[in-house]
A = this chain, B = another copy of it.
């Protein structure tokens, strides 16, 4: 169950454990303040690390082999208990390690900054810990907070797990929220090009949302709603998707469910299509939010279909998705007794930017039908195709879907309209039973009535969307994309040029030596230390280290500032690499 086909840092206790141990590192502020290197402590730490890693691997192997032989459900419980105990033990060991580091630091001893496998900030209840670790005057008593996380008197086991996962996954995000770059007010703040946020048309959107039709209030908007979404909004969504997805027949508002964000739609689909421990196939690299959402409530596993960057006879373009690869991953998963219920597709793809051809789509859907797999297809970037030679095909546009009752489309306004703050996500499915089951969760995932009204008015205004918004948006996407790709070309950085989405998938492996996920993380940290947030390939469950996703859908001035920081970090990194290679050469 815990094989290689697992998403990074977003799945299970055992994983997050090995993760924790793979990223242990001192806060950079302190490291820089201390020049001394103590080889003895370093070696001692490395030994402890290796021992811990071996313990985990042994236990993982034991659990995995036992797992295959026995009843899945019962085993999962023993597994969970065993990993809990392991986690408590490891937590204490880590606490001791931190203490050791701390005492070393207090005693005037330092560790070399590039010490591999040392960074705790990405895990272990990152939130408070990470924050404090960024302060130069990091107080000792923070350590007791760290220890406390492993022996919480107040939280349930799942509460501790979820909290730890959230704070590790959203650590950069939360830092950014508290210290955002602003061109006038906070020029030293964090620039976040790790988040897929469209800030290209905030001017247009603010103007449109300020018009008088938006500020309508009626009693129904203030009262308990239809939990599927207000009928007027579902009707408008059906009309909107019919038009922009080029659907042969008018879509039915009864098949629409509206929730507070696409992640809520995905999470509820996972609840009603899978039982705990069952799985979805997902091509990787892929949006990590699905993995996070799957952990919060549904406890659905993601089985990765690993794609390769290398071009071969079987892989005509980098990271090509083929039915063969999906079939292989499916059959391997089945061999381990895993129940695979569906396939997750993103079109246009995130982070690759691929827009699937009609033929490819057809093949993927036929494959899913053959194996009775649900297809959850996320088309959230459908209006964000800016290369005029590329045509987006929605599955809703297909004359006859191979398996309409198992095809479920997700869309929202966060990306295409750049209003992620509205918290708006749509499910369209021909399967009334699924729509009905998902709507049960509307009670806990509802949207404000006034926001529903505004969204309805926005989607209704075709004139504005077609004549004002979309032409401007796409032209700005082109310009920003052009700026960013030129910069990358100038640096000789390879990247995918796919003409859709808000981001570019680029390869920075030339800056990593050795090319490992540890080094990828260290480079990521280096960006962070320079107040630039990117997202690294590992969080997209990419199997090859060195890939990063960089968002370009922002204002020119901000992009310029960001690329300045970007360039600075890569220069530093290159200097370090040269130094390292020289040292190695001297040693030989």
A236-244, A349-357, A436-444, A569-577: which lies at the interface: A436-444
Interface size on A, residues (CB 8 A): 91
Q: How far is the CB of A293 from chain B (nearest CB, A)?
A: 7
Chain B, Cβ-Cβ closest to A77? B73
**Is A312 engaged at the interface, CB distance under 8 Å to the other chain?**
no
Interchain nearest-CB distance for A57 vs B (Å): 27
A187 at the interface (CB under 8 A from B): no
Q: Which residues of A235-278 have CB atoms within 8 Å of chain B's CB atoms?
A: 260-261, 263-264, 267, 271-276, 278
Of A155, A293, A418, A421, most B-chain CB atoms within 10 Å:
A421
Residues of B within 8 A of A167 (CB): 436, 440
Interface contact B421-A220, CB-CB below 8 Å: yes
Residue from B177, B222, B424 in contact with A226 in the complex, judged by beta carbons closer than 8 Å: B177
List B contacts of A441 (CB < 8 A). Answer: 162, 296
The reply to whether B271 and A156 form a contact with Cβ atoms under 8 Å apart is yes
**Is A205 close to B, CB under 8 A?**
yes
C-alpha spacing A209/B448, complex, angstroms: 14
Separation of A177 and B434 alpha carbons in the complex (Å): 20
Verify A272–B157 contact, CB threshold 8 A: no
Answer whether residue A446 sits at the interface, using C-beta atoms and an 8 A cutoff.
yes
Contacts of A215 in B (CB 8 A): 210, 214-215
Contacts of A227 in B (CB 8 A): 170
Given A155-B433, A163-B440, A209-B450, output 4 extra A-B contacts at Cβ < 8 Å: A155-B272, A162-B440, A199-B223, A264-B444
Q: Give the complex CA separation of A223 and B210 in angstroms.
A: 16
Q: A156-B275, A210-B217, A440-B165 are in contact. Are A423 and B406 (CB under 8 A)?
A: no
Interface: A123 (CB within 8 A): no
Given A202-B219, A273-B159, A437-B162, is A448 in contact with B448 using a C-beta cutoff of 8 Å?
A: yes
Contact (A154, B434) CB under 8 Å given A197-B224, A217-B209, A226-B177: yes
Cross-chain contact B448 with A423 (CB below 8 angstroms)? yes
**Contact between chains at A222 and B444 (CB < 8 Å):** no
Interface positions of A (Cβ within 8 A of B): 73-74, 77, 127-128, 148-149, 152-160, 162-163, 165-167, 170, 173-174, 177, 195, 197, 199, 202, 205-206, 209-210, 214-215, 217-227, 260-261, 263-264, 267, 271-276, 278, 292-293, 296-297, 341, 374, 405-406, 418-424, 431, 433-434, 436-437, 439-441, 443-451, 454
Contact A420 B450 (CB under 8 A): no
Of A177, A224, A441, A454, the most chain B CB neighbours within 10 A belong to A224
CB distance from A290 to the nearest CB of B (A): 12
Residue pairs across A and B with Cβ atoms less than 8 A apart, 14 shown, are A156-B271, A156-B275, A159-B271, A159-B272, A163-B436, A205-B222, A210-B215, A222-B419, A260-B446, A261-B444, A261-B446, A293-B443, A297-B297, A423-B448
Complex Cα–Cα for A353 and B278 (A):
45
Task: Determine which of B77, B156, B177, B437 lies in contact with A155 in the assembled complex, contact meaning CB atoms within 8 Å.
Answer: B437
Given contacts A217-B206, A275-B157, contact A423 B450 (CB under 8 A): no
Contacts A202-B222, A436-B163 known; A156 to B278 CB distance under 8 Å? yes
**CB-defined contacts of A162 to chain B, threshold 8 Å:** 271-272, 437, 440-441
Inside 8 A of A296's CB, which chain B residues have their CB? Answer: 440-441, 443-444
Chain B residue nearest to A160 in the complex (CB): B437
User: Which 3 interchain pairs have the tightest Cβ spacing?
Assistant: A159-B272, A166-B440, A421-B449
Determine whether the beta carbon of A273 is less than 8 Å from that of B156: yes
Q: From residue A215, how far is it (CB to closest CB) to chain B in Å?
A: 5
* A384 and B435 alpha carbons, distance in the complex (Å): 37
Question: Which chain B positions have C-beta within 8 A of A421?
Answer: 220-225, 448-450
List, in ascending order, chain B residues with CB within 8 A of A273's CB: 154-156, 159
A202 to B219, CA, bound (A): 7
Contacts of A156 in B (CB 8 A): 271-275, 278, 341
A127 touches B436 (CB 8 A): yes
A439–B159 alpha-carbon span in the complex (Å): 11
* Alpha-carbon separation in the docked complex, A274 to B271 (Å): 19
Q: Which residue of B lies closest to A162 (CB)?
A: B440
Separation in Å of the A522 CB from the closest CB of chain B? 26
Q: Please, which residues of chain B bring their CB within 8 A of the CB of A374?
A: 154
User: How far, in angstroms, from A220 to B420 measured CA to CA in the complex?
Assistant: 10
Q: Which residues of B contact A154 (CB under 8 A)?
A: 273, 374, 405-406, 431, 433-434
Expressed in whole angstroms, the minimum distance between the Cβ of A291 and any Cβ of chain B is 12
A128 shortest CB reach to chain B, Å? 7
Query: Closest Cβ of chain B: how far from A184's Cβ, in Å?
Result: 13
* CB atoms of B422 and A450 under 8 A apart: yes
Least CB distance, A115 to chain B, in whole angstroms? 29
Q: How near does chain B come to A158, taking the closest CB pair, in angstroms?
A: 6
The answer for the CA separation of A261 and B441 in the assembled complex, in Å, is 13
Question: In the complex, which residues of chain B have a beta carbon less than 8 angstroms from the beta carbon of A127?
Answer: 436
Alpha-carbon separation in the docked complex, A402 to B437 (Å): 42
| Residues in B whose Cβ lies below 8 Å from that of A449 | 421-422
Pick the contact of A451: B170, B218, B226, B450 (CB < 8 A): B450
- Say yes or no: A444-B195 contact (C-beta < 8 A), given A271-B156, A272-B162, A431-B154: no
